Amino acid sequence: MRLFIMLFLLILLSLSLSCVSRYMPVAQNNIEVSDEFAILRTDDELMAIRVDLWNGEPQYLTEYFSSMFVRIQNRSSYPIRIIPTDFAMINENQMQYDLVPSDIVLEIALSHPSLVPEWFSISAETQRENLNRVNTIRRNIMTRAFAFGEIHPGAIKEGILFFPNLDNKNQEFTILYRHNEILFRKNR
């Protein structure tokens, strides 16, 4: 019986240590929280945003970027325009991080050392595999990144926003969206 209790406690301890802390949105005056999304409603639009844990190729993207998934619905009767400067990230030390354009994200992703071998010293099969991986990376980033521009009445746009990576010691950050502040705090 004692062995069973010790084993049970060991399992509980390992589970608690393996829990990854995540940034979660904090409900505020004009911000609702639902299913890990911070939701901002105005007369003209509905914006939902959450921390995005990038999965898929390239896995190493998280070494360079903090990514956020955003979904914006135009609730007005006229087109609305979304531009990169509508968003910013402010860390707990008040340092501002601007969006990294998807073409720069792609350039950084494709310059990773694992994708830049000495082409003359690798086999044709390895070259083909690398080319396929490059195409997959390009497709993933370009199709998942948020496409800035007009959103027509009733239409929805969604995608990933890329910011420079936050320091792991950072306990909270704020996303600024058109002068609205959306707070995210690390949970454990």
Asked if the structure places residue 4 within a domain, the reply is no
The pLDDT tens digits for 135-186 are 888 999 999 999 999 999 999 999 999 999 988 888 999 999 999 999 999 9
pLDDT band at 125 (very low <50, low <70, confident <90, very high): confident
Query: Taking 70 as the threshold, does the pLDDT of residue 6 lie above it?
Result: no
What's the pLDDT band for 117 if we cut at 50, 70, 90?
Answer: low
| CATH, residue 105 | 2.60.40
Amino acid at 99: L
pLDDT band at 14 (very low <50, low <70, confident <90, very high): very low
Is residue 8, in this structure, part of any structural domain at all?
no
Identify residue 5 by its one-letter amino acid code: I
Sort 66 into a burial class: Cβ within 10 Å, 0-12 / 13-18 / 19+.
Answer: buried
Q: Is residue 2 part of a domain?
A: no
Q: In this structure, is residue 16 part of a structural domain?
A: no
Considering the domain boundaries, does residue 46 fall inside one? yes
The reported pTM is 0.82
- Tell whether 37 is covered by a domain: yes
Show the domain range for 49.
Answer: 23-187
- Asked if the structure places residue 75 within a domain, the reply is yes
pLDDT digits (tens, 9 = 90+) for 71-83: 999 999 999 999 9
- End-to-end CA distance of the chain: give it in Å, rounded: 31
Residue 156 located in a structural domain: yes
Domain total in the chain? 1
- DSSP summary character for residue 177: E
